[in-house]
Structure 1
Amino acid sequence: MLDILIIGGGPIGLACGLAAQKAGLSFVIVEKGCLVNSLYNYPSTMTFFSTSEKLEIGGIPFVTIHNKPNRAEALEYYRRVAVSNNLPINLFEEVTQIKPSAGGYTITSSRQTYHAKKVILSTGFYDISVNLDIPGEDLPKVKHYYKDPHYYAMQNVVVVGSSNSAIDVALETYRKGANVTLVVRGSEISNRVKYWVRPDIINRIKEGSVKAYFNSNLAAIREHEVDIDTPDGKVIIPNDFVMAMTGYKPNFDFLAKLGINLTKDKFIPEYNQHTMETNMPGMYLAGVVCGGLDTHLWFIENSRIHADMIINDIVAKDQKK
């Protein structure tokens, strides 16, 4: 029987593995996608808001030539951390069921069955998009994930949202020759947008390079046009692609299935803020999954501490036995 099964091979899952390794505990990390799958699915041009030292895990230096590391550098860093420390990681293996059993939990995956005394859930929130729930959202031209701006050159692109992902998409596709329209529910660009990017989009809107509808909502999507509800009434514009950068959410159904209590408003899972243990004994949460629908609450830089909090609690309880 393993001491710990860690579900999720992102930065915080790896941090938990490093802490468990340091404590001499047996563990396996199971990841349903590739290594640091969420980071891999970030836009190819993405630059982090955080500096490299705030993305470090396990006390291992993250050396970069840039003030703010980019996606490629982060992928290289976390891969080297995993490989150089010989972390036991099973990739492209999805956990489908976790059930209490004698001495801990029985965990069933798409490939095998594990038995572990403790379980750490570090599953993030990037796998399930927040839908618009409007007619036409199921059309192939509607995208909730974005990779590269070149694909949208010379196309009519509607971008929905006003946070970092939406603004990055709007600016990058505009600079590759797209005709960009930004649809924002609020009255202004979000204050969460990276400080060096926010003035850029505001100026592009002021000069008319990017058309923006504020206090507005995308109402319907059709093959070659969209409807936008604005303060001045419905607007119909030509459209080739809709980039719905409306955010993502954890797999709440999976958490509830495991017996973890969730708040009714923001679906924040119940856990001990000092140990990260949930209402299910021996089952812990780590990383951004702890924030429920409030996905701006936890980041790599402020949730790295979860790894040591969890492992310290596990070791302390084992010593009491």
Structure 2
Amino acid sequence: MNAAFDVLIVGGGPIGIACALEAKRAGLSYVVIEKGCIVNSLFNYPLYMTFFSTSERLEIGNIPFVSINPKPTRPEALEYYRRVAGSNHINIKLFEEVKQILPNAGEYIVHTSKQSYHARHVVIATGFYDIPNLLNVPGEDLPKVTHYYKDPHFYADQDVVVIGAANSAVDAALETYRKGARVTMVVREKEIGKRVKYWVKPDIENRIKEGSIKAYFESHVTMIEEASVTVNTPDGSITIPNDFVIAMTGYQPNFSLLENAGIALSDDALKIPVYDPATMETNMPHIYLAGVVCGGMNTHVWFIENSRDHAGKIISHIRNNA
């Protein structure tokens, strides 16, 4: 069992690091527990992803983020957050997963995949990118199906089905098409998502209009087989040739971790955790939420740029109630 900390932060993404910076500046003992590498979710983004936000809106801890582009790229963000963590000597344990958070005599015992910790306060900043929303159709477990798109080169000269019409799906469709893939999009809605980056939306719509990328709207995949995909369309069921499926169906927070810690969730499909927006404290005393996890299934509410202030709220509340 490790020594007790004032604050244990679950998640080493941008908001988790922001919480660590605030805790350190406040003179609190802290540790960050991260299941993967530093800013693991950002590392798993597509190689050539460009952020919607400008660099100054991605800054944490009042540390400048300098980018050569109007919108920073994934490599720039990885470099920035890694340098912020390294230059500030953030106490972070990598490749260690939090398994359980248990109350114990006015504090918490946090069990991980490697050891256990005592902490007076716990901040959960786990984001939502680790658990994909499944299709729940036959063949989804085939090796050719992925819920994480990385590099378009892999799909050159292949028949590719991209499921979804949000930013990640549109990026995957355009990038694989430009590397020589034969791309078909399958979209449940009537059109490309309204939240798609404004400089990308005309591109995908024009590629669909000219027929370079085939798209089936108001449609969904019903079966995936080794060499084909079956799609239910407004005109009936069709089967199309297929080598790979990129299922960009979205992701969800680790609800089981929240519920097992005693955090209440809303009764509706959004499953929004209960917390005080002024302090970010949940219904469990001294357990706080920070970042995207606050939105439950509504993953379009919180981003880095509008949840950076969660760190200040949390640490201020902890200091004022010490």
**TM-score normalised over the length of structure 1:** 0.98
Match of 2:150 in 1: 147
**Per-residue CA shift, 1:16-39, capped at 9, x if unaligned?**
001111111110011010000000
Q: Cα distance, 1:103 vs. partner?
A: 3.4
**Per-residue CA shift, 1:37-90, capped at 9, x if unaligned?**
000000001110000000000000000110000000000000000011111011
Matched, 1:304 2:292: no
Matched, 1:66 2:69: yes
The residue type paired with residue 317 of structure 2 is: D
Match of 1:31 in 2: 34
Of 290, 293, 301 in structure 2, the residue corresponding to residue 289 of structure 1 is 293
Count matched residues: 318
The residue type paired with residue 314 of structure 1 is: I
Q: What is the rounded CA distance, in whole Å, between the counterparts of 1:97 and 1:219 in structure 2?
A: 36
Structure 1 SS opposite 2:321: helix
Matches within 5 A, 1:182-197: 182-197=185-200
Q: What is the rounded CA distance, in whole Å, between the counterparts of 1:6 and 1:81 in structure 2?
A: 16
Of 158, 162, 165 in structure 2, the residue corresponding to residue 159 of structure 1 is 162
Q: What is the rounded CA distance, in whole Å, between the counterparts of 2:27 and 2:59 in structure 1?
A: 21
Match of 2:106 in 1: 103
Matches within 5 A, 1:80-229: 80-229=83-232
The residue type paired with residue 272 of structure 2 is: I
Q: What is the rounded CA distance, in whole Å, between the counterparts of 2:204 and 2:316 in structure 1?
A: 45
Matched, 1:10 2:13: yes
Of 261, 278, 284 in structure 2, the residue corresponding to residue 280 of structure 1 is 284
Q: What is the rounded CA distance, in whole Å, between the counterparts of 1:102 and 1:148 in structure 2?
A: 49
Matched, 1:315 2:319: yes
Q: Cα distance, 1:138 vs. partner?
A: 0.8
Q: What is the rounded CA distance, in whole Å, between the counterparts of 1:282 and 1:198 in structure 2?
A: 43
The residue type paired with residue 51 of structure 1 is: T
Of 272, 278, 281 in structure 2, the residue corresponding to residue 268 of structure 1 is 272
Structure 2 SS opposite 1:20: helix
Match of 2:252 in 1: 249
Of 258, 262, 282 in structure 2, the residue corresponding to residue 259 of structure 1 is 262
Residue segments in structure 1 that go unaligned for 5+ positions in a row: none
Match of 1:54 in 2: 57
The residue type paired with residue 306 of structure 2 is: N
Q: Cα distance, 1:107 vs. partner?
A: 1.0
Q: What is the rounded CA distance, in whole Å, between the counterparts of 1:51 and 1:313 in structure 2?
A: 29
Q: What is the rounded CA distance, in whole Å, between the counterparts of 2:105 and 2:239 in structure 1?
A: 61
Q: What is the rounded CA distance, in whole Å, between the counterparts of 1:208 and 1:112 in structure 2?
A: 55
Aligned structure 1 segments of 4 or more residues deviating by more than 2 angstroms = none
Structure 2 SS opposite 1:202: helix
Q: What is the rounded CA distance, in whole Å, between the counterparts of 1:106 and 1:93 in structure 2?
A: 15
Q: Cα distance, 1:175 vs. partner?
A: 0.2
The residue type paired with residue 29 of structure 2 is: S
Structure 2 SS opposite 1:194: coil
The residue type paired with residue 308 of structure 2 is: R
Q: Cα distance, 1:96 vs. partner?
A: 1.1
Q: What is the rounded CA distance, in whole Å, between the counterparts of 2:137 and 2:296 in structure 1?
A: 23
Identity among equivalent positions (%) equals 65
Q: What is the rounded CA distance, in whole Å, between the counterparts of 1:153 and 1:215 in structure 2?
A: 27
